[in-house]
Amino acid sequence: VTNGGKTTLAEKLKKMLPNCDIISQDDFFKPESEVETDERGFKLYDVLDALYMDEMVKSIHNWMKSPSSSGVVTEERQNTCDDLKNTDDVYILIVEGFLLYNYEPLNELWNRRYFLTLPYEECKKRRSTRVYQPADAPGYFDGHVWPMYLKYKNELEENGSNVVYLDGTKSQDELLSFVYNDILQELKKLRE
């Protein structure tokens, strides 16, 4: 969901996990001139066609081929727990975005999938505090953003499996703790 805390969560996880890097879907938006406009004059940013998805897939595959040379900066981690000792050979890529699980070429790549949700009122309130370029036109949230979120969420619920749904109204610390511990469990399974 837009303004659900995806980027914040990803950045906090990056500081806590070994050899961790992030690829953000926001970095693959097409320029405004290439984004379609509907009959109401709304730029259709909340659809896959507004993104260079092939480029995103290529970036992910390039990272996977050589994560150690991907430019990951191994920073001193904030929390060094026993489960992360001796993990110098572990590389973690967090891919964050709003239309990741509705793009079939990506679905074979995920070890874990998290989907942040927000109720309509909270999402609209958060969205209204953000400044976008181009700015949201009057009625854009109700006329395009929210309907596209519901459409893609319904598709995911019908077709997606192994998705962990997260309540975006929970505190950042609570979400971080849950996802961090879940990733630790996944790392443990992969190492066994």
Query: Is 26 marked active-site?
Result: yes
Between CA 75 and CA 122 the distance in angstroms is 34
Which of 26, 27, 49, 142 is flagged as catalytic? Answer: 26
Between CA 164 and CA 180 the distance in angstroms is 13
Are 124 and 146 in contact by the 8 Å Cβ rule? The answer is yes
- In 3D space, the residue among 124, 156, 97 whose CA is nearest the CA of residue 165 turns out to be 156
Which helix (H) or strand (E) segment is 135 a member of? none
Q: Which two tokens stand for residue 111?
A: 């070890």
Q: Give the β-pairing of 92-96 and 163-167.
A: unpaired
Question: From the DSSP assignment, how many helices (H) and strands (E) are in the chain?
Answer: 7, 4
- Which residue bears the tokens 């984004």? 35
Known catalytic residues are: 26
